A = this chain, B = another copy of it.
Amino acid sequence: MEKSLREIAELVGGEIEGDPDTIISGVSGIKEAQEGEITFVANSRYTSLIETTGASAIIVTPETRRNGQNTPFLRAENPYLAFLGVVDLWVPQEHTTSKGVHPTAVVGKNVTMGAECTLGAYSVVGDDVTLGDRVTVYPHVVIGDRVKIGSGTVLYPHVTVRDRVSIGNRVIIHSGTRIGCDGFGFAPIKGQHHKVPQVGTVVIEDDVEVGANVTIDRATFQKTLIKKGTKIDNLVQIAHNVEVGENSIIVAQVGISGSTKIGDGVTLAGQAGIVGHIEIGDGAIVAARAGVTKNVEPYTCVSGLPATLHEKWQRMVAVQRRLPEINKQIRRFEKRLAALEQVLDAEPKND
């Protein structure tokens, strides 16, 4: 598909600087972009790449300065947002195969389906399930009994949604993710572990995206809750009774233990681990691989194991790197002190 820069500007907004008849045939990142492609620079750190990109047009901020080359610009208030609009024009069409209910889909009793739903090959839907409009269930998804799924939600192949789970509108769940399996709860009685039935559920609000092979366990009682707009990456573990606030980001392989509460706008970076029964305040950032063992204040950043305020942790790490030298220095101190004490015949006071 080809579009002129003028047509693109009409679709996504912004002011053209350069030839509006420039023909664009695709989109790409600034480093990879080649002739015929449009790209963008939203962050001033990447402004220098404007000089070297192979792109035929660049979406930039109103303030971005030229650096001697004359690739056409599309100046937009929010280049990232404009770029998303442009990307949408070239997104490949997916799963054209199976619109509607595939003849092999197994649908239980008393299932309510909105308009234009897709149930893929071999999908299984339990009894008393409610699906909103335009729900897309890919092949091999299994949905338990009494599940509710809102409009526009997409479940990719091999997703499991267990009984009584509730999923909002425009939610995306990637392949192999398990929603509503039993929480890990056992009562230790005489050295054996007796299963505590997990009778709660999971509620996922609107506009959440959950990556592949994630596990979100059902609550012991009540519910495990993921609030609206939160995005979860692959292979994340969310234990029973966890509550994650709105618009938070949980990067791959993070683990959140039972009953912990994550605030709004929080970032949990890759492979971080959070113990149970604590709170991570709104806007907090937990650095990659941090192990959080106690509450984190809102709008602070923590790192390391046990997690510490990031600035303090950085100072600790700087000294840690010097530990071998410090060790030598201490041995020299010992000798120098002993020499001084000998000279003075002073009594050293040991504790």
Which residues does A use to contact B, with CB under 8 Å? 27-29, 32, 42, 78, 80-81, 83-84, 87-88, 90-92, 94-97, 102, 104, 106, 108-109, 120-122, 124, 126-127, 138-140, 142, 144-145, 156-158, 160, 162-164, 172, 174-176, 178, 181-182, 184, 186-187, 189, 191-197, 199, 209, 211-213, 215, 217, 220-222, 229, 231, 233-235, 237, 239, 247, 249, 251-253, 255, 257, 265, 270-271, 273, 275, 288-289, 291, 293, 304-306, 308, 312, 315-324, 326-337, 339-341, 343-344, 346-351
**Which of B97, B321, B326 contacts A145, CB < 8 Å?**
B97
Contact in complex: A182, B178 (CB < 8 Å): no
Which chain B residues lie closer than 8 Å to A265 at the CB level?
A: 191
Contact in complex: B215, A213 (CB < 8 Å): yes
Which chain B residues lie closer than 8 Å to A157 at the CB level?
A: 124, 142, 160, 162
**Which of B182, B193, B305 contacts A289, CB < 8 Å?**
B305
CB A340 to nearest CB in B, in angstroms, measures 6
- Which 9 A/B pairs are nearest by Cβ-Cβ distance? A319-B323, A215-B234, A142-B157, A178-B212, A160-B175, A80-B187, A289-B291, A315-B324, A181-B212
**Which of B158, B196, B253, B317 contacts A237, CB < 8 Å?**
B253
Known: A97-B127, A157-B162, A329-B330. 6 other contacts (CB 8 A): A181-B212, A192-B229, A217-B234, A304-B305, A318-B324, A340-B340
Which chain B residues lie closer than 8 Å to A215 at the CB level?
A: 176, 211-213, 234-235, 252
Q: Given A160-B157, A199-B90 in contact, is the A320-B322 Cβ separation under 8 Å? A: no
Contact in complex: A255, B255 (CB < 8 Å): no
Q: Once the chains are docked, how many angstroms separate the CA of A85 from the CA of B2? A: 56
Q: Given A181-B175, A194-B84 in contact, is the A29-B106 Cβ separation under 8 Å? A: no
CB A324 to nearest CB in B, in angstroms, measures 4
CB A54 to nearest CB in B, in angstroms, measures 13
Contact in complex: B350, A341 (CB < 8 Å): no
Contact in complex: B139, A142 (CB < 8 Å): yes
Contact in complex: A235, B233 (CB < 8 Å): no
Q: Which B residue's beta carbon lies closest to that of A252? A: B237
CB A77 to nearest CB in B, in angstroms, measures 11
**Which of B196, B289, B347 contacts A339, CB < 8 Å?**
B347
Contact in complex: A189, B80 (CB < 8 Å): yes
Q: Once the chains are docked, how many angstroms separate the CA of A191 from the CA of B245? A: 13
Which chain B residues lie closer than 8 Å to A252 at the CB level?
A: 184, 215, 237, 239, 255, 257
Q: Once the chains are docked, how many angstroms separate the CA of A348 from the CA of B332? A: 9
Contact in complex: B194, A81 (CB < 8 Å): yes
Q: Once the chains are docked, how many angstroms separate the CA of A131 from the CA of B306? A: 47
Q: Given A163-B95, A346-B340 in contact, is the A270-B288 Cβ separation under 8 Å? A: no
**Which of B249, B251, B321, B335 contacts A316, CB < 8 Å?**
B321
Contact in complex: A324, B330 (CB < 8 Å): no
Contact in complex: A87, B174 (CB < 8 Å): no
Q: Once the chains are docked, how many angstroms separate the CA of A226 from the CA of B74? A: 35
